[in-house]
Amino acid sequence: MDDAPTRTRCHWLRDEDGLEILIQMCCGAAIGGPAECTCNVPESRIEAAERGRAEAEAHVLRLMDERDRRLHEQAGIWGRNKRLRQRIEELETLLAGTTS
């Protein structure tokens, strides 16, 4: 029987659509993902999976950066508006003082 190692180690499985999926069998891969795999799964494929994950994470980080930048811009605009309103109130008070 040559199946035993396949059942206890991580391995790639090609499904009906031709997509390859990594079946994670070892504790390392289960806990830490493909990078922590302790089996003899071809590394290039593990790296490809890791690269895909890293790219997805980088994309999320870029989106978060962009969101932070926009929030920062918005906070700046709100701050300017607030200062302008205060200045208008000051001027109105001054004006009321000069006409009364």
Residues at the interface with Zn ion (CB under 5 A): 10, 26, 29, 37, 39
Q: Give 37 or 49: the residue with its C-beta nearer to Zn ion.
A: 37
Which helix (H) or strand (E) segment is 13 a member of?
A: strand 11-14
Q: How far is the CB of 10 from Zn ion (least distance, A)?
A: 3
- 8 A C-beta contact, residue 34 and residue 54: no
Q: Give 10 or 49: the residue with its C-beta nearer to Zn ion.
A: 10
Structure tokens at 70: 């926009």
The strand pairing partners of 11, in sequence order, are 23
Q: How far is the CB of 79 from Zn ion (least distance, A)?
A: 53
Q: Give 29 or 49: the residue with its C-beta nearer to Zn ion.
A: 29
Counted residue by residue, the chain has a size of: 100
